[in-house]
């Protein structure tokens, strides 16, 4: 079969390894496996979301409300935006897919950081767009600006805080950059970890309502997969002026999230106390990772997220460390494919982090 030749340039996305795979391949007992690889909230969903999921069992023979009225009403009230300024996706991933297909034609350019969320480039390649990247691991808006002038991208991704490096941009710096972006260029501000960044440093907080009011050529994306603890539910959203949302809606398949997911996400918006606790715990444990790095003599990128990138010198292979940890049942992310000799570790529960430190010392 001759498939679309564009596929030749696409690498299949490699997701974090599931616990089951480690049990199968390395013979580790399931209860001994700890997954610190996909930036999930280790506490899981909050009490309201859990209750909604259990109660929703009665309704799953019905298709969902395709307008996702209740979810948009609750989310809109939270963010201060109208329903026609929102699109719901099966994860914010699906929103990137809508944006890509609604905006880009073959040969159009997409500008992004060198080290950033891998799916942006995969979606771009699917439609034959060219990806232009900066040179650095963390976001440098000076590089973005000069590459923007040189390549005139139609789409720019700012991932703040960024995955997998963990760096975050200041709101004022983003606004100053956006002042210089042509109106015909769409800028995605991916706030998948914004709940964490805003807690750590108020200067990093982006309010989607303010962003799109000041800069109509932007779209803010958020997700329920990280701080909200609903990664398995696949719910994300895009916030943009109504005219942008109207274009994206043309790309959306019907019923693109399940009614279970919509109910869980709506209820999760009422789980504020659970979220605050998880986020405070995250940074308390993060401090232990930083102290551990100092103690062991390697460096890290200060992180505004629920993960930390640990960097190794040339004498040490991050890939080998990740592999040895896996054999002990500790799943982390090797950042080799991002061109970094580093591993990304999701901050877990206290006992999980203890186990990581212990296993790491054994393999290091």
Q: Which stretch binds ligand PLP (CB under 6 A): 47-55, 147-155, 221-229, 347-355?
A: 221-229
The CB-of-16 to ligand PLP minimum distance in angstroms stands at 10
Q: Residue 22 or residue 227: which is nearer to ligand PLP going by CB?
A: 227
Contact call for residue 163 and ligand PLP (CB under 6 A): yes
The CB-of-237 to ligand PLP minimum distance in angstroms stands at 9
Contact call for residue 41 and ligand PLP (CB under 6 A): no
Contact call for residue 245 and ligand PLP (CB under 6 A): no
The CB-of-120 to ligand PLP minimum distance in angstroms stands at 9
Phi, psi of 88 (to 5 degrees): -100, 135
Q: Which of 225, 303, 306, 346: binder of ligand PLP (CB under 6 A)? A: 225
What angle (nearest 5°) sits at the alpha carbon of residue 217, between those of residues 143 and 173? Answer: 40
What angle (nearest 5°) sits at the alpha carbon of residue 91, between those of residues 185 and 60? Answer: 140
Question: What percent of the residues of the chain are helix, what percent strand, and what percent coil, each to the nearest 5?
Answer: 50, 15, 40
How many residues interact with ligand PLP (rule CB under 6 A)? 14
Q: Which stretch binds ligand PLP (CB under 6 A): 71-79, 222-230, 325-333, 349-357?
A: 222-230
Task: Give the Å distances, CA to CA, from 51 to 4, 57, 230, 235.
Answer: 45, 11, 13, 17
Paired strand residues for 130: 109
Task: Give the Å distances, CA to CA, from 54 to 59, 191, 321.
Answer: 10, 29, 40
Binding residues for ligand PLP restricted to 172-191, rule: CB under 6 A? 190
Contact call for residue 91 and ligand PLP (CB under 6 A): yes
Q: Residue 38 or residue 143: which is nearer to ligand PLP going by CB?
A: 38
d(CA 151, CA 10): 22
d(CA 207, CA 211): 6
Contact call for residue 223 and ligand PLP (CB under 6 A): yes
Residue 300 structure tokens: 């890290």
Binding site for ligand PLP (CB under 6 A): 39, 91-93, 117, 159, 163, 190, 192, 223, 225-226, 231, 236
């Amino acid at each position: 079969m001759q498939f679309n030749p564009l596929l030749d340039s696409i690498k299949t996305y490699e997701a974090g390894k599931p616990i089951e795979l480690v049990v199968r391949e390395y013979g580790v007992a399931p209860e001994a496996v700890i997954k610190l690889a996909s930036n999930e909230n280790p506490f899981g969903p909050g009490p309201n979301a859990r209750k909604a999921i259990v109660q929703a069992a009665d309704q799953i023979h019905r298709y969902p409300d395709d307008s996702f009225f209740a979810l948009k009403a609750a989310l809109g009230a939270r963010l201060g935006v109208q329903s026609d300024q929102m699109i719901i996706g099966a994860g914010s991933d699906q929103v990137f897919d809508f944006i890509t297909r609604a905006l880009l034609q073959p040969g159009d350019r997409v500008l992004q950081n060198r080290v950033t969320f891998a799916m942006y480039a995969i979606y771009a390649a699917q439609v034959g767009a060219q990806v232009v990247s900066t040179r650095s691991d963390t976001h440098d808006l000076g590089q973005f600006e000069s590459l923007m002038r040189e390549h005139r991208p139609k789409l720019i991704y700012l991932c703040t805080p960024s995955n997998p490096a963990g760096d975050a941009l200041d709101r004022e710096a983003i606004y100053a950059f956006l002042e210089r972006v042509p109106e015909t260029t769409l800028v995605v501000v991916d706030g998948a970890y914004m709940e964490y960044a805003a807690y750590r440093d108020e200067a990093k907080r982006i309010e989607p309502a303010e962003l799109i009011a000041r800069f109509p050529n932007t779209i803010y994306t958020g997700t329920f997969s990280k701080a909200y603890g609903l990664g398995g539910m696949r719910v994300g959203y895009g916030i943009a002026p109504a005219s942008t949302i109207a274009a994206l809606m043309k790309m959306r398949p019907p019923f693109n999230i399940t009614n279970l997911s919509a109910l869980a996400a709506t209820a999760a918006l009422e789980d504020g106390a659970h979220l605050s606790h998880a986020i405070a715990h995250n940074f308390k444990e993060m401090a232990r990772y930083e102290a551990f790095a100092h103690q062991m003599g390697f460096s890290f990128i200060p992180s505004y997220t629920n993960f930390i990138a640990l960097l190794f010198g040339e004498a040490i292979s991050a890939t080998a460390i990740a592999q040895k940890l896996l054999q002990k049942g500790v799943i982390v992310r090797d950042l080799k494919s991002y061109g970094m000799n580093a591993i990304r570790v999701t901050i877990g529960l206290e006992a999980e982090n203890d186990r990581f430190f212990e296993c790491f010392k054994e393999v290091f």
